[in-house]
């Protein structure tokens, strides 16, 4: 996906401009023509692409807000409220300023004649792609409120995973802050005092203490170096994201890890089945469903599997047979085959999604349970080093005097 800046003009002389996230220029041209505008300027906006890319990495996805948005929107649509009024109400009660600004822009685009899905596409980097594509299919099928209700459940599941990660990281973060405070206190109070006393006595500080002093003196340089490495890593990662073949190799390498690979596979399987269940139960064809999921899939290994599956589906194969040579779990494929044969595919898809959600949860809890003891051990070694480096000069002074 890339962000394009467009500017168009109609026969009445009106100008329309903005940003649109899509795969190619032709989509932007079709968007303008559909609204009766002739394209004047269409160009890639690399600055905006990079900006949205960095924001997508550094800012946490607001799954709670998205779940609340989908559930409230669904309830209001079921009550017969117009889309414009729904967005206006949600904009007024949203506690997240970024989401409120995005909703205001959605309302402006709807006033210009854009459809709801087109208005969402005009907010690049803000809403997840699955939400945009689901709204697009919901508009076509006339079941927008049903899809939004099921999406709310999906985002609530994602929010639960993120909350668990936050909870597990709280303790190590507190310990890290305590370590920084201890280091700062020792480096700025005790060590200067020891240095003066040893210099006056013509003695040299112990080796560990000298190492500790060297670390504290160069801490600012080290922090700048880490910041530089972090920015360099972001730029390198952004560059790699532009090359699908390199991303494919990286994704394949990560999937080969014993536990992390299994966690990723289970998570992707749950995501696939839940989204497929949402779309199929809304009356969307299996081919269109796979197209939507393929467009929203971030993992290049599974993305290629879905591209092959699309070709197989168009040749007349069933969903399970189309994915037979893919990296998806065999259990998932066998269950889907049963769903196709029994005519209860959407029901089976939701059951598979629940199963892999629970499997993902168990693996995630096991991995996160290892973080706390490892973090405690590392921070204990760091604080222990600081304490020993501080105490050694005292012993040396007692032995000399």
Q: What percent of the chain shows pLDDT beyond 70?
A: 89
Q: Partners of 3 in the beta sheet?
A: 21
The residue-averaged pLDDT of 375-399 equals: 76
CATH topology of domain 60-127: Receptor-associated Protein (1.20.81)
Q: Does the pLDDT of residue 65 top 60, yes or no?
A: yes
This prediction has a pTM of: 0.69
Q: Does the pLDDT of residue 168 top 80, yes or no?
A: no
What pLDDT does residue 113 have?
Answer: 81
Kind and range of the H or E run holding 296: helix 286-296
Q: What mean pLDDT is reported for the chain?
A: 79
Of 254 and 186, the structure prediction assigns the larger pLDDT to 254
Would you kindly state where each structural domain of the chain is located, as residue ranges? 1-49, 60-127, 143-401
Q: Does the pLDDT of residue 59 top 50, yes or no?
A: no
What pLDDT does residue 212 have?
Answer: 77
The CATH label, of 3.50.50.60, 1.10.10.10, 3.40.50.970, 1.20.81.30, for the domain at 143-401 is: 1.20.81.30
What pLDDT does residue 355 have?
Answer: 92
Q: How confident is the model at residue 139 (pLDDT cuts 50, 70, 90)?
A: confident
Q: Does the pLDDT of residue 46 top 60, yes or no?
A: no
Separation between Cα atoms, residue 130 and residue 118, nearest integer Å: 14
Cα–Cα distances (Å) from 196 to 185, 200, 204, 268, in that order, read 17, 6, 11, 60
- Residue recorded with tokens 């929107």: 73
What pLDDT does residue 57 have?
Answer: 41
First to last CA, the chain: 72
**Following CA atoms 17, 93, 70, 21 in sequence, which dihedral angle do they give, to the nearest 10 degrees?**
20
The residue-averaged pLDDT of 141-155 equals: 84
Q: Does the pLDDT of residue 61 top 70, yes or no?
A: no
Of 162 and 265, the structure prediction assigns the larger pLDDT to 265
Q: What percent of the chain shows pLDDT beyond 90?
A: 2
Q: How confident is the model at residue 352 (pLDDT cuts 50, 70, 90)?
A: very high
* Angle (CA) 343 297 270, round 5°: 50
What pLDDT does residue 60 have?
Answer: 39
Separation between Cα atoms, residue 191 and residue 173, nearest integer Å: 26
**What are the φ/ψ torsions at residue 6 (nearest 5 degrees)?**
-125, 150
Is residue 157 within 8 A of residue 66, CB to CB? The reply is: no
Length of the chain: 401
């Amino acid at each position: 996906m890339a962000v394009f800046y467009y500017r168009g003009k109609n026969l009445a002389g009106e100008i329309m401009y903005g940003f649109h996230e899509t795969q190619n220029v032709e989509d932007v041209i079709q968007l303008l023509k559909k609204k009766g505008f002739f394209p004047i300027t269409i160009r890639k906006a690399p600055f905006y692409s990079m900006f949205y890319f960095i924001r997508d990495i550094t800012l946490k996805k607001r799954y709670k807000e998205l779940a609340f948005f989908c559930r409230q929107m669904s309830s209001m649509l079921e009550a017969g409220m117009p889309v414009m009024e729904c967005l206006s109400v949600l904009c007024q009660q949203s506690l997240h300023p970024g989401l409120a600004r995005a909703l205001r822009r959605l309302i402006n685009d709807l006033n210009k004649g854009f459809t709801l899905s087109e208005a969402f596409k005009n907010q690049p980097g803000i809403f997840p792609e699955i939400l945009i594509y689901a709204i697009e299919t919901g508009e076509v099928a006339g079941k927008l409120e049903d899809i939004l209700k099921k999406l709310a459940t999906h985002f609530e599941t994602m929010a639960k995973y993120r909350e668990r990660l936050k909870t597990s990281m709280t303790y190590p973060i507190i310990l890290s802050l305590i370590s920084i405070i201890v280091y700062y206190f020792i480096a700025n109070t005790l060590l200067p005092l020891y240095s003066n006393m040893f210099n006056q006595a013509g003695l040299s500080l112990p080796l560990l203490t000298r190492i500790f002093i060297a670390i504290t003196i160069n801490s600012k340089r080290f922090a700048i170096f880490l910041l530089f490495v972090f920015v360099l890593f972001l730029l390198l990662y952004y560059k790699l994201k532009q090359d699908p073949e390199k991303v494919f190799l990286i994704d394949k390498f990560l999937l080969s890890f014993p536990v992390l690979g299994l966690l990723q596979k289970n998570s992707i399987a749950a995501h696939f089945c839940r989204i497929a269940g949402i779309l199929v139960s809304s009356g969307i064809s299996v081919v269109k469903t796979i197209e939507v999921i393929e467009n929203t899939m971030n993992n290049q290994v599974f993305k290629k599997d879905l591209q092959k599956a699309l070709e197989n589906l168009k040749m007349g194969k069933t969903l399970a047979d189309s994915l037979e040579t893919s990296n998806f779990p065999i259990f998932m494929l066998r269950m889907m085959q049963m769903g196709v044969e029994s005519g209860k595919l959407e029901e089976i898809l939701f059951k598979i999604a629940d199963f892999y959600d629970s499997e993902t949860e168990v693996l995630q809890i096991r991995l996160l349970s290892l973080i706390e003891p490892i973090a405690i051990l590392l921070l204990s070694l760091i604080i222990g080093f600081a304490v020993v480096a501080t105490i050694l000069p005292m012993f040396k002074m007692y032995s000399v005097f």
